[in-house]
Amino acid sequence: MREDISSLISTMLHTNNAIDMSSMLTQENMFDAAILRSMLLDYAEEEDTDAFEFFEDAKIDESFLRGFMAGMVQTILIERSYGEVLGRLSHTDVMMLYEATRAFLMEDGI
């Protein structure tokens, strides 16, 4: 019980409410990110050929996906520079997306 309360207080003290992320986390951006995530992870799990058609129809090319991968790496590097703990559960999702994107690019290049 004491650890739970301590953890809760620590979380409250370390939450920075001064950062307004509303310009980044718009409904449109979150929708686009969810679709991109879904297509990449579905492709990785099932090697679904619909992903190729989706990216082609959405005009998402190799340079976009490479930029997406660079953004994920940049996020991890920023967290590391601030002393964040690497290897958290959320980083599993980042790694899965990174690996799925890399697999898609390799398959698309063949």
The whole-number pLDDT of residue 62 equals 92
Domain of residue 100 covers 24-109
Residue 58 is assigned to a structural domain of this protein: yes
Instruction: Answer for the pair 98, 69: CB distance below 8 angstroms, yes or no.
Output: yes
Residue 15 is assigned to a structural domain of this protein: no
What are the C-alpha distances in Å from 98 to residues 13, 30, 33, 75? 32, 18, 13, 12
Residue 2 is assigned to a structural domain of this protein: no
Residue 80 is assigned to a structural domain of this protein: yes
SS3 53: helix
Structural domain total, the chain = 1
Residue 9 is assigned to a structural domain of this protein: no
SS3 32: helix
Beta strands in 27-93 (DSSP E): none
- Among residues 37, 109, 41, 101, the alpha carbon closest in space to that of 65 is found at 101
Give 10-residue mean pLDDT values along the chain (110 residues): 58 64 88 90 74 83 94 94 89 94 84
pTM for this structure?
0.75
SS3 91: helix
